[in-house]
């Protein structure tokens, strides 16, 4: 009978041991847990779209992009917790692309159908990452944003083979490491990057939630209040009591928060 090679089984065993170590690190450092908490809240938004945003092909397109982003967050966490920090960062770049695309669809709803029906040439010309960033920058009317800088950072560290990317294979004081490894600094950096992507992705998809549905309203409220807390604590942009009260008014709490 065919068997999985022994070394692959041993590799998985080592990954699971590293994952338990990563969980203990998160438990020891509350700020790491904060980034993961907001990530979970954003994933809740995407899951709610899966359940309640399927009425036509355009809605299913947004919903399926939400599923992709949900899976990206889950995969990135699994990889970084198992000691594959560079691979996790590569997955985070996909979240950047999906978020920008969904934001572009919000700018111009007609782009959803155009994207769905596009051939390869049209996708490359009109929906490549640079083209989508241009759509968003033009809509904002504030000149060039930091979107390109963010995308290049992820591409340089993980998306393409580069000398700078080798840094993610070398924990401080170590030679390049083959296979998974445990390093608090590397874990912290990638968890923080994921945490900063979570509000961007969560907001992009939250726009599409039908908050007349109680479950959607609860999840939107839970995400938005978490994002406000996160913004004040980690992004240097606190929200006022008045702004918080307005969110509570718009997304009235039910007897318990949705999880």
The count of structural domains within the chain is 1
Residues 92-141 have pLDDT tens digits of: 999 999 999 999 999 999 999 999 999 999 999 999 999 999 999 999 88
Query: What pLDDT does 136 receive?
Result: 94
The span from the CA of 157 to the CA of 80, in Å, is 14
The span from the CA of 242 to the CA of 244, in Å, is 5
Predicted confidence (pLDDT) at residue 84 exceeds the cutoff of 90: yes
Q: To 10 degrees, what angle do helices 184-206 and 30-52 make?
A: 30
Query: What pLDDT does 141 receive?
Result: 85
In a domain, 247, yes or no: no
Predicted confidence (pLDDT) at residue 254 exceeds the cutoff of 50: no
CB 201 within 8 A of CB 69: yes
Predicted confidence (pLDDT) at residue 66 exceeds the cutoff of 80: yes
In a domain, 25, yes or no: yes
Residue 108 domain boundaries = 15-209
Contacts 24+ apart (CB under 8 A), 4-12: 11/179, 11/180
Average pLDDT, the chain: 91
Instruction: Of 123, 113, 133, 126, give the one whose Cα is nearest residue 61.
Output: 113
Return the higher-pLDDT residue of 38 and 155. Answer: 38
Query: What pLDDT does 163 receive?
Result: 79
In a domain, 23, yes or no: yes
CB 195 within 8 A of CB 201: no
The span from the CA of 86 to the CA of 92, in Å, is 10
Residues 131-172 have pLDDT tens digits of: 999 999 999 887 777 888 888 888 888 888 887 788 888 777
Query: What pLDDT does 258 receive?
Result: 43
The span from the CA of 149 to the CA of 231, in Å, is 20
Query: What pLDDT does 177 receive?
Result: 82
In a domain, 248, yes or no: no
Place of tokens 């993961």: 36
Predicted confidence (pLDDT) at residue 257 exceeds the cutoff of 50: no
CB 215 within 8 A of CB 258: yes
The span from the CA of 191 to the CA of 189, in Å, is 6
In a domain, 214, yes or no: no
In a domain, 140, yes or no: yes
In a domain, 46, yes or no: yes
Query: What pLDDT does 23 receive?
Result: 97
CB 123 within 8 A of CB 97: no
Predicted confidence (pLDDT) at residue 9 exceeds the cutoff of 50: yes
Residues 205-244 have pLDDT tens digits of: 999 999 999 999 999 999 999 999 999 999 999 999 999 9
The span from the CA of 53 to the CA of 203, in Å, is 16
Confidence of residue 253 (pLDDT cuts 50, 70, 90): low
Encoded tokens for 18? 């590293």
The span from the CA of 229 to the CA of 231, in Å, is 6
Share of residues in the chain with pLDDT > 70 (%): 96
Predicted confidence (pLDDT) at residue 183 exceeds the cutoff of 50: yes
Query: What pLDDT does 255 receive?
Result: 36
Encoded tokens for 159? 């998306």
Average pLDDT over residues 182-186: 92
Q: Helix (H) and strand (E) counts for the chain?
A: 11, 0
- CA 110, 113, 119, 124 dihedral sign is positive
In a domain, 136, yes or no: yes
């Amino acid at each position: 009978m065919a068997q999985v090679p022994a070394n692959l089984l041993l590799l998985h065993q080592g990954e699971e041991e590293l994952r338990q170590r990563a969980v203990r690190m998160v438990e020891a450092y509350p700020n790491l847990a904060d980034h993961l908490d907001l990530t979970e809240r954003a994933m809740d938004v995407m899951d709610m779209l899966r359940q309640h945003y399927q009425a036509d092909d355009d809605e299913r397109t947004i919903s399926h992009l939400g599923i992709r982003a949900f899976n990206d967050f889950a995969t990135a966490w699994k990889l970084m917790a198992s000691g594959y920090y560079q691979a996790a960062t590569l997955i985070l770049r996909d979240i950047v692309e999906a978020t920008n695309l969904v934001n572009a669809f919000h700018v111009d709803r007609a782009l959803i159908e155009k994207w769905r029906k596009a051939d390869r040439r049209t996708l490359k010309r009109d929906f490549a990452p640079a083209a989508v960033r241009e759509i968003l920058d033009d809509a904002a009317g504030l000149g060039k944003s930091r979107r390109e800088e963010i995308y290049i950072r992820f591409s340089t560290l993980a998306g393409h083979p580069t000398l700078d990317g080798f840094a993610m294979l070398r924990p401080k004081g170590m030679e390049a490491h083959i296979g998974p490894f445990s390093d608090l600094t590397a874990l912290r950096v990638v968890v923080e990057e994921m945490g900063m992507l979570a509000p961007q992705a969560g907001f992009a998809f939250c726009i599409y939630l039908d908050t007349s549905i109680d479950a959607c309203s609860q999840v939107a409220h839970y995400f938005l209040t978490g994002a406000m807390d996160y913004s004040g604590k980690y992004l240097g942009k606190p929200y006022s009591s008045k702004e918080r009260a307005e969110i509570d008014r718009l997304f009235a709490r039910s007897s318990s928060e949705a999880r």
